[in-house]
């Protein structure tokens, strides 16, 4: 069951933090988990292939083009964590629920509570792999040809040894399909995955770039909104495109989703974090 939860963090005093907090958030999350379950922390850190989680701080200053992230006493920051592997959820949720404080960058934050999938926060939610597959992968009425994504944090792809900060359909949907096939009980066939790259094109978009400094290196990512258009109406490919568009809310898109990049979701319909 894909799951997204939000951890409320309350600074003990005012802090000026770096503009991008993905690396610090990654370390903080693993530290919280290690205190409760060292084996799980090691698995999250060392898991080969697509990692079964994502994270990001929703109030990062860099997302707004600011030079720092302002954390004020009495005002919460929110750490969003998503899980793609059912087996991990109970232990990780217990670790987060039992946490009382966390060292974050050079500041100390109280853990103000876990906002789970019950509607306590608009960036939280849950789904079922089986329900998603049943809804979108079986023939039914013709599906809308346009899918609009919001890339909420800088997004980039690692392809052929290079970083590609562009929402090319084969990279966006290929990334989503890779994570889906790694975690879901129902896999997308190579023919369908290949068709996503061939039958989707970029439509209207409003994007801008951000230079992300991870401390050990810098990368350029893009954020904003981008529309993808189904050029053909092959039912299996159209269904997979809509399935993966919904899955993006949990899986993230592209490179370093475990360090704050690639937070994205489909906004063709109403969404609580829509601009």
Residue 143 confidence (pLDDT) above 70:
yes
Residue whose token pair is 């978009």:
205
- Of the chain, the end-to-end C-alpha distance in Å amounts to 28
Q: What is the pLDDT of residue 241?
A: 95
Domains of the chain: 3-125 (3.30.70.1890), 128-266 (3.30.70.1900)
Dihedral sign computed on CA atoms, order 130, 134, 135, 137: positive
Q: What is the pLDDT of residue 36?
A: 78
Q: What is the pLDDT of residue 42?
A: 77
Q: What is the pLDDT of residue 197?
A: 92
SS3 call for 28 = helix
Mean pLDDT of 123-144: 88
Band of pLDDT at residue 96, cut at 50, 70 and 90: confident
- Name which residue leads in pLDDT, 215 or 65: 65
- Percent of the chain at pLDDT > 70 equals 95
- Name which residue leads in pLDDT, 192 or 51: 192
Residue 274 confidence (pLDDT) above 50:
no
**From CA 92, how far away is CA 36, in angstroms rounded?**
9
Q: Per mean pLDDT, which range of 70-74, 97-101, 206-210, 248-252 is the poorest?
A: 97-101
Mean pLDDT of 152-179: 93
Mean pLDDT, rounded, of the chain: 88
Q: What is the pLDDT of residue 269?
A: 54
| Residue 94 to residues 4, 89, 98, 207, Cα–Cα distance (Å) | 14, 8, 6, 38
**From CA 248, how far away is CA 151, in angstroms rounded?**
10
Q: What is the pLDDT of residue 119?
A: 61
Band of pLDDT at residue 196, cut at 50, 70 and 90: very high
Nearest to 63 by CA among 98, 97, 18: 18
Q: What is the pLDDT of residue 117?
A: 56
Tokens of 143: 């599906």
Q: What is the pLDDT of residue 187?
A: 93
Band of pLDDT at residue 272, cut at 50, 70 and 90: very low
Mean pLDDT of 43-71: 85
153: left (phi over 0), alpha (psi -120 to 50) or beta: beta
Burial 25-36 (b: 16+ CB within 10 A, else e): bbbbbbebbbeb
Residue 264 confidence (pLDDT) above 50:
yes
pLDDT tens digits along 3-47: 999 999 999 999 999 999 999 999 888 888 887 778 777 777 777
pLDDT tens digits along 97-128: 888 888 888 888 998 888 775 567 888 888 99
Nearest to 141 by CA among 242, 49, 213: 242
């Amino acid at each position: 069951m894909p799951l997204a939860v939000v951890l409320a963090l309350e600074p003990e005093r005012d802090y000026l933090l770096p503009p991008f907090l993905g690396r610090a958030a990654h370390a903080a999350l693993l530290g919280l988990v290690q205190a409760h379950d060292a084996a799980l922390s090691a698995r999250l850190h060392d898991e080969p292939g697509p990692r079964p989680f994502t994270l990001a701080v929703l109030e990062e200053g860099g997302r707004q083009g600011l030079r720092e992230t302002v954390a004020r006493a009495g005002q919460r920051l929110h750490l969003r964590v998503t899980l793609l592997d059912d087996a991990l959820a109970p232990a990780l949720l217990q670790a987060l629920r039992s946490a009382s404080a966390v060292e974050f960058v050079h500041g100390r934050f109280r853990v103000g509570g876990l906002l789970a999938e019950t509607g306590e926060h608009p960036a939280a939610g849950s789904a079922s792999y089986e329900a998603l597959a049943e809804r979108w992968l079986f023939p039914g009425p013709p599906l809308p040809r346009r899918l609009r994504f919001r890339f909420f944090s800088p997004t980039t792809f690692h392809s052929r040894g290079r970083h590609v900060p562009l929402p090319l359909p084969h990279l966006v949907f290929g990334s989503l399909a890779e994570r889906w096939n790694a975690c879901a009980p129902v896999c997308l066939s190579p023919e369908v995955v290949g068709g996503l790259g061939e039958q989707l094109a970029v439509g209207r978009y409003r994007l801008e770039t951000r230079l992300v400094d991870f401390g050990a290196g810098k990368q350029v990512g893009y954020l904003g909104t981008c529309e993808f258009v189904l050029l053909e109406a092959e039912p299996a490919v159209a269904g997979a495109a809509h399935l993966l568009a919904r899955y993006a809310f949990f899986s993230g898109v592209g490179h370093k989703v475990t360090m704050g990049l690639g937070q994205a979701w489909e906004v063709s319909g109403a969404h609580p974090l829509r601009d």
